[in-house]
Homo-oligomer: A and B are copies of this chain.
Amino acid sequence: MIKVGIIGSTGYAGGELARILLQRSDVEIKWYGSKSYIDQKYASIYQNMFQIVDDVCMEENMEELGNLVDVIFTATPQGLCASLVNEELLSKVKIIDLSADFRIKDVAVYEKWYKITHPSPEFIGEAVYGLPELNRDKIKKARLVANPGCYPTCSTLAVYPLVKEGLIHTDTLIIDAKSGVSGAGRGAKLDNLYCEVNESCKAYGVANHRHTPEIEEQLSYAAGKPVMLNFTPHLIPMNRGILITAYASLSKKATYEEIKALYDNYYKEEQFVRVLEKDVCPQTRWVEGSNFVDVNFKIDERTGRIIIMGAMDNMVKGAAGQAVQNMNLMFGLPEDTGLKLIPVFP
């Protein structure tokens, strides 16, 4: 039995973690942490959990938690996990941080884009970027995993084979992303009210969204040289789902079949990456509720560009599902334990 604590269990990602973990018989959630709802019943905050969870929300006491559980998920705002982590804690429990604190190796880059001082840069080196499709072996041995951002997960997996093989000019890479509203979190902000979001569409974080350096870093490793790109997220009126559409110039002529074979080869062992069939565009509805990333591409002979698309559930593969995938690896379990979730439609 794996004993689990969730810090930030009343946010959307925390709630999704609870949903996924509660379906398992080999995991026990011992701690529903929440800054805002201490001592309130968890099922009064998330009524879907009525008669399923009896626990009350607990304060974020890492020290106590460290003695109680085997793994802590921190689904909290930037800076919190980094301010709590220390050697003693890590000697006792594994930590999977869903915030951005340990995703970026260059602390200066982190501090520039996030505009906060990193509270514990000494652990950045140790932290493993938790994208299992790229870092599986390192994750297995990690004490501290930086769970990737939602956009970076979808973006990186969608273009990785092309970048790794040098098939695109990375300086032409542009990623245009669309996300449902759950990605904005559960804070009571005017901008996220139903009537403000419904029946509308907008770009945000143009040229300065914080996921930009995270994507760049991962693709730089793949390219073996610095990658700089444009990333523009858009908010669209739906609960869940991310779609990314990426554009890049091909560095050499390539046929559909060649690139399809490349993608198939890269992802043939991956259970959670589905390379779609020719001319089938990824759609978020076909991955909702699951840990899948659906990817496909189209070559435009006229312009010499390739258009790459990826669809994902931002709450699952983009957050809680991937965190559980990492947990499985860290505890030596089959990677898909508890994650054989069939997408829900409609």
Chain A residues near B (Cβ < 8 Å): 12, 15, 19, 22-23, 46-52, 172, 174, 176, 178, 180-182, 186, 188-190, 192-204, 206-207, 228-230, 232, 234, 236-241, 243, 245, 247, 274, 276-277, 280-290, 294, 298-300, 302-303, 305, 307, 309, 311, 315, 340, 342-346
Q: A186-B195, A203-B281, A346-B196 are in contact. Are A303 and B230 (CB under 8 A)?
A: yes
Quick check: B240 and A19 within 8 Å, CB to CB?
A: no
Min CB gap A22→B, angstroms: 6
Which B residues are in CB contact (< 8 Å) with A243?
201-203, 234
Quick check: A199 and B230 within 8 Å, CB to CB?
A: no
Q: A52-B342, A342-B22 are in contact. Are A309 and B200 (CB under 8 A)?
A: no
CA–CA, A182 and B198, complex, Å: 11
Quick check: A50 and B195 within 8 Å, CB to CB?
A: no
Copies in the complex: 4
Which B residues are in CB contact (< 8 Å) with A193?
181, 186, 188-189, 192-194
Quick check: A48 and B230 within 8 Å, CB to CB?
A: no
Which B residues are in CB contact (< 8 Å) with A340?
23
Quick check: B194 and A284 within 8 Å, CB to CB?
A: no
CA–CA, A216 and B234, complex, Å: 25
Which B residues are in CB contact (< 8 Å) with A197?
194
Which B residues are in CB contact (< 8 Å) with A245?
176, 203, 232, 234
Quick check: A239 and B195 within 8 Å, CB to CB?
A: yes
Which B residues are in CB contact (< 8 Å) with A47?
276, 280, 283, 286, 294
Min CB gap A212→B, angstroms: 9
Question: Which of B196, B199, B309, B342 is the one whose CB lies under 8 Å from A48?
Answer: B342
Closest to A189 in B: B188
Question: Which of B181, B195, B298, B299 is the one whose CB lies under 8 Å from A181?
Answer: B195
CA–CA, A174 and B175, complex, Å: 11
Closest to A346 in B: B195
CA–CA, A313 and B204, complex, Å: 19
Min CB gap A106→B, angstroms: 15
Closest to A21 in B: B342
Min CB gap A294→B, angstroms: 7
Min CB gap A205→B, angstroms: 9
Question: Which of B50, B198, B280, B288 is the one whose CB lies under 8 Å from A194?
Answer: B198
CA–CA, A221 and B311, complex, Å: 37
CA–CA, A50 and B305, complex, Å: 27
CA–CA, A293 and B66, complex, Å: 38
